[in-house]
Each structure stands twice: as structure tokens, then as C-alpha cells.
């Protein structure tokens, strides 16, 4: 029991240290300063081809499917701290529709709005690609996505090209909850 408490306290101390140890103050022309935002040390960018091995490792660590993940099919966004990937999310585009997939954040960095920001960035990327509807499958995160405006949909109502993806046809179990998000 004491070891578990010790680990939690160390994790909290590490998180606080990570947040507070970055001293970044911006100076304006008049010499005034602006305070650092709470999570200003997290950067986001489109994933490069070289990132995919690290993304697959992160997905495995988070118990998410990654066997069909490929540079050719997915458009991914990553979150980084100190040039290390701590989160990812992506989409597979199909004729104005997309499969949203692979939202993962390393456990130590959860509850820092990384998943929310990654989701927003993937939706923006989809909008730039002309995507109007996103679909996803989840076995654990339906309440999270529901809070973000996603709605449950019957799997049979998903477009055929999305249904024919490996994630829909063979990787995710038939018990996975199917959800849709429509861009305005």
C-alpha cells in the first residue's frame, strides 16, 4: 500500500515539476512580460513518416490497435514534450468521410487536455481535406467522445468504404461502440 502511495506522490511531483520548471517569459517592446500558459510546453504537429514506429509503440502501450497503421493510409497528429511523442491521433480519409482513430496519450500525461487538443487538430485537418463526417469505434471512450459532441450510430449505417477498413471489418470487436461526428 505504501509503495503505491509513494508512486502516486512521485508521479504528482514529476508532473508539477514538468509544468513549473519551464521558465519561458516573452518580452514585449515595452519590456512587459506575459505569463507562461499552463500547458505551453506541449507542442503539436503533423506526424512524419519517421514517427510511425514511435506512434505504434505508444498505441501498443495504450492497448490500442496498430497492426494496420501505415504511412500511406493515415494522417496523424502527434503531441510532443521535449521532442518525445506523448500523444497521437489520426484519420483515414475516404471520399469526404473519415475514420477517426488511434487517439492515445501516455498515462503520465493524461488530464492535461492533450487528447482534446489532438482531437481538435484531427478534426481541423479533416476539414482541410474536405471531410464532412467522422466515424470511430471504441470499447472504452464512448462517454469521452459523447462529451465532445459525437453521437452513437448503428454500425450498419456507416458508409461501405469505412466499413471495409481493417479496423471495422476485423480489428475492432463487433461489440465496439460506433460513433459519428459531423463537421458544421
- Domain extent listing, the chain: 1-41, 42-182
Which percentage of the chain shows pLDDT scores above 90?
Answer: 67
Burial 129-145 (b: 16+ CB within 10 A, else e): eebebbbbbbeeebeeb
pLDDT at 179: 97
C-alpha cell recorded at residue 97? 468521410
Superfamily classification of domain 42-182: Gcn5-related N-acetyltransferase (GNAT) (3.40.630.30)
Please give the model's pTM, rounded to 2 decimal places.
Answer: 0.78
Lowest mean pLDDT among 14-23, 58-67, 80-89, 111-120: 14-23
Summarize pLDDT for 43-77 with one digit per residue, the tens.
Answer: 999 999 999 999 999 999 999 988 888 888 889 99
Amino acid at each position: 500500500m505504501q509503495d503505491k502511495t509513494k508512486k502516486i506522490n512521485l508521479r504528482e511531483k514529476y508532473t508539477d515539476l514538468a509544468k513549473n520548471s519551464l521558465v519561458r517569459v516573452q518580452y514585449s517592446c515595452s519590456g512587459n512580460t506575459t505569463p507562461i500558459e499552463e500547458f505551453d510546453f506541449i507542442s503539436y504537429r503533423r506526424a512524419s513518416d519517421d514517427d510511425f514506429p514511435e506512434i505504434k509503440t505508444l498505441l501498443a502501450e495504450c492497448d490500442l490497435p496498430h497492426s494496420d497503421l501505415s504511412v500511406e493510409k493515415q494522417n496523424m497528429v502527434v503531441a510532443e514534450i521535449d521532442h518525445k511523442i506523448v500523444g497521437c491521433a489520426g484519420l483515414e480519409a475516404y471520399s469526404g468521410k473519415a475514420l477517426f482513430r488511434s487517439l492515445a496519450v501516455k498515462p503520465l500525461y493524461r488530464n492535461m487536455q492533450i487528447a482534446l487538443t489532438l482531437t481538435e487538430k484531427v478534426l481541423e485537418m479533416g476539414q482541410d481535406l474536405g471531410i464532412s463526417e467522422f466515424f470511430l469505434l471504441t470499447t472504452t471512450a464512448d462517454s469521452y467522445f459523447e462529451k465532445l459532441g459525437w453521437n452513437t450510430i448503428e454500425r450498419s449505417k456507416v458508409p461501405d468504404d469505412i466499413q471495409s477498413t481493417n479496423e471495422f471489418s476485423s480489428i475492432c470487436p463487433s461489440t465496439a461502440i460506433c460513433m459519428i461526428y459531423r463537421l458544421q
